[in-house]
Amino acid sequence: MKLRSMLFVPADSERKLAKALGSTADALILDLEDAVAASRKSEARRGAAAFIAEHATRIQSALFVRINPLDSGMAMQDLAAVVAPGLAGIMLPKTNSAADIARLANCLDALEARADMTEGAVRIVPVATETAQAMLNMQSFAAPVPRLAGITWGAEDLSAAIGAISNREEDGALSPLYHWANSLCLCAAAATGVPAIDTLYADFRDAAGLAASCRQARRRGFRGRIAIHPDQVATINEAFSPSEAELAHARRIVEAFAAQPDAGTLSIDGVMIDKPHLTQALRTLDLTN
């Protein structure tokens, strides 16, 4: 499942849901959580369920739903409303550890059976750094986790959880805790064998800043990013897609090792390359799938 771009869409807004139909995002996240007022949760559930039923087979974007947290008292209502054919995944906010993924997976087992869906059809992307407990439990993502499709991180809820005035320093740079959250997300994704999805870029009018931030994120190992506005999607998709020059170089590395399978190191254009370069080349080529 390609997850370069995951666009949030408030599930209680008919206008925004309709606009999302034209999106080129790899995934739409029909939001039942933060973007929806408490008084409109039921309306959002109905909106998400209707959207999935009507459009899942008509659009290219995979359909995810961000439910309310497992301990909110609303998660089961959310799941009961939206687990149906066409749902690709659940985004789980305020995940405290990998044990929460197992809890959610158990619920999905029953709901998929009720809906006559293939077992395991609904994947999970947790927001893995939004609570203090989560930061202390990131080592729980140390091996493959059933149903996991990716891992993302968040800074806004974490700053609220610890009582920080801001998640940034006076010069605008992220404070150390949030750099740590970013890095832990990368490590957890690698340990579980799924893509790391970078958190949102809040200033949706700053296309240049978003592009620069995405390039930095990709260099660090992220495979995609959350979008909070449709205008961000094209920039994100471009940034997390390899260029023709990158693909050509990756093919040369793969071909060179294929031609000399017993070699530990090779030279391409006067630069020594070894097996880690081959691994990265294969990952680059995999981004086109």
222 close to 198: Cβ distance less than 8 angstroms: yes
DSSP 203: -
| CA triple 238-240-244, angle to 5 deg | 70
Q: Tell whether 165 and 278 lie within a shared domain.
A: no
What is the number of structural domains in the chain? 2
Determine the straight-line distance between the first and last CA of the chain, rounded to whole angstroms: 9
Q: Are residues 89 and 205 in the same domain?
A: yes
Q: What is the CATH number of the domain that holds 11?
A: 3.20.20.60
Q: Specify the DSSP class assigned to residue 63.
A: E
- Structure tokens belonging to residue 136: 């202390």
Neighbours of 80 (CB within 10 A): 15
Long-range Cβ contacts of 236-239 (<8 Å, 24+ apart): 236/4, 236/5, 236/210, 237/4, 237/5, 237/24, 237/25, 237/26, 238/211, 239/211, 239/214, 239/215
pLDDT at 83 (0 to 100) = 98
Confidence (pTM): 0.92
Q: Do 57 and 182 have their domain in common?
A: yes
Residue 282 belongs to domain spanning:
244-286
Which residue stretches of the chain are H helix? 14-20, 41-55, 75-82, 98-114, 132-136, 156-162, 176-192, 207-220, 233-239, 244-259, 275-286
Residues 42 and 107 both lie in one domain: yes
CA distance 81 to 264: 54
pLDDT value at residue 51: 98
Q: Are residues 255 and 231 located together in one domain of the fold?
A: no
pLDDT at position 266 is: 77
270 and 174 in one domain? no
List, for residues 144-171, the tens digit of each pLDDT value.
Answer: 999 999 999 998 899 999 999 999 998 9
Contacting residues for 173 by C-beta, under 8 A, at least 6 apart: none
One domain for residues 280 and 225:
no
Shared domain for 135 and 262, answered yes or no, is no
Which residue has tokens 């630069």?
A: 271
| Per-residue model confidence (pLDDT) at position 255 | 77
Instruction: Please check whether residues 14 and 31 belong to one and the same domain.
Output: yes
Are both 101 and 149 inside the same structural domain?
yes
Q: Are strands 224-227 and 265-268 parallel, antiparallel or unpaired?
A: unpaired
Specify whether 79 is located in the same domain as 181. Answer: yes
Are residue 162 and residue 229 in the same domain, yes or no? Answer: yes
> Helix (H) and strand (E) counts for the chain?
11, 10
Residue type, 168: R
Q: Which candidate, 79, 84, 139, places its Cα nearest to that of 103?
A: 79
Q: Which of 47, 3, 24 is nearest to 189 (CA)?
A: 3
Q: Which residues of the chain fall short of a pLDDT of 70? A: 289
Residue type, 241: S
